[in-house]
Amino acid sequence: MHWGTMISTTVGALLTLAVFSFLYKDNPFYKFAEHLMVGVSAGYWVVILYYTVFVPNVVGKLQAGQWYYLIPAVLGLLMWARLTRKWSWVSRYPLAFYLGIATGVAIPLEMKAKIIEQLNGSVDLVTQMYSAQAGWATVVNNILILIGVISGLIYFFFSKAHTGATGGVAKLGIGILMIGFGASFGFTVMARVSLLIERLQFLLFDWLHWY
């Protein structure tokens, strides 16, 4: 292996081991790695923001004679007023501009993607049940999904006390939610273990070449 690659991989491996040392207990090696990561990541962000956003989207536009790009640049600069107590209110203007756009754009699209489409999908389940090809399994499953969605929503509906019939349906809703959270937990275990596998693959194979 090229010595340069070996040194680079060794640096990565030693930092990996420094982080793993936290499993025994908090220690200076872990703290070193953690603080180094924060610094380097912040530096990386500066580099990326400067070269891939500021240069093409501001400098490039101004060089092309599109002077009106000074407006968002100045608005952006006003954000830095946050750093002073006296002038921090000035940063509300650019913030208001961004928030207004981001929230305005969200209303119709969130409504469409998260509510209308989801309700459409639920209605489709009813339609499917009446189609000629629907077997009994489809019918049962679709009914279960519909019951699950409705009871789950009732569980989240806090304007009415969860007593009597509402309480019963809400309880069913919690049960359905628990199955969903169980599935999420099962997948989360896989996700977390994957990260460990990758690190050990790196240490064993990429660093030690211990195939």
Partner 1 sequence: MALWDKMFAIDRRWVYLALGLSVLISLKIPFSIPVPVSKEARNIYNFVDTLKAGDAVHLAIDYDPSTLAELHPMTLSILKQCFEKKIKVVITALHQNGPGMAAEAIDTAVARHLARTGEKKINGVDYVFLGYKPYPSLIILGMGQNYRIPFPTDYYNVPLDSLPMMKKIQNYNNVKAILNISGTSATDYWITYGNGRYRVPLAIGVTGVMATDYYPYWQTGQIFGILGGLKGAAEYETLVGTPGKAVDGMKVQMVAHLIIIVFILVGNIGYFAERKRRGQETL
Partner 2 sequence: MKRQLPLLIISVCGVFMVFQYFVPHETSEFLYEFIALDWPPIIGIFALTLGIISLVRVSFTKIRKRSPDWQFSIVTLLGLIAMIVAGLPWFGGQKSSAVQWQYQNIMKPITATIFSLLSFFIASAAYRAFRARSVLASILLISAVIVMIRFFPLGPLTGAVTWMADWVLNVPNLAAKRAIIIGIGLGIISTAMKVILGVERSYMGRD
Length of the chain: 211
Candidates 1-9, 53-61, 77-85, 88-96: pick the segment binding partner 1 (CB under 8 A): 53-61
User: Counting contacts by CB under 8 A, is residue 13 touching partner 2?
Assistant: yes
Q: Which residues in 146-185 contact partner 1 (CB under 8 A)?
A: 180, 183-184
Pick one of partner 1, partner 2, none as the site partner of residue 209 (Cβ within 5 to 8 A by kind): none
User: Counting contacts by CB under 8 A, is residue 140 touching partner 1?
Assistant: no
User: CA-to-CA distance for 38 and 29, rounded, in angstroms?
Assistant: 14
Tokens 């499953």, residue located: 141
In one letter, which amino acid is 66? Answer: Q
Tokens 């420094």, residue located: 18
- Determine contact, residues 21/29, Cβ cutoff 8 Å: yes
CA 20 to chain CA mean position, Å: 25
User: Counting contacts by CB under 8 A, is residue 71 touching partner 1?
Assistant: no
Candidates 38-46, 127-135, 161-169: pick the segment binding partner 2 (CB under 8 A): 38-46
Report the alpha-carbon angle 114-117-122, nearest 5.
110
Cα-Cα-Cα-Cα torsion 201, 204, 206, 209, nearest 10 degrees, comes to -140
- Per-residue contact string for residues 88-117; x = within reach of partner 2 by CB under 8 A: xx--xxxxxxxxxxxxxxxxxxxx-xxx--
Token pair of 13, please?
A: 């491996």
Among 55, 74, 134, 153, binds partner 1 (CB under 8 A): 55
Q: Which residues bind partner 1 (CB under 8 A)?
A: 23-24, 41, 44-45, 48-49, 51-53, 55-57, 60-61, 98, 101-102, 105-106, 109-110, 112-114, 117-118, 120-121, 124, 180, 183-184, 187-201, 204, 210
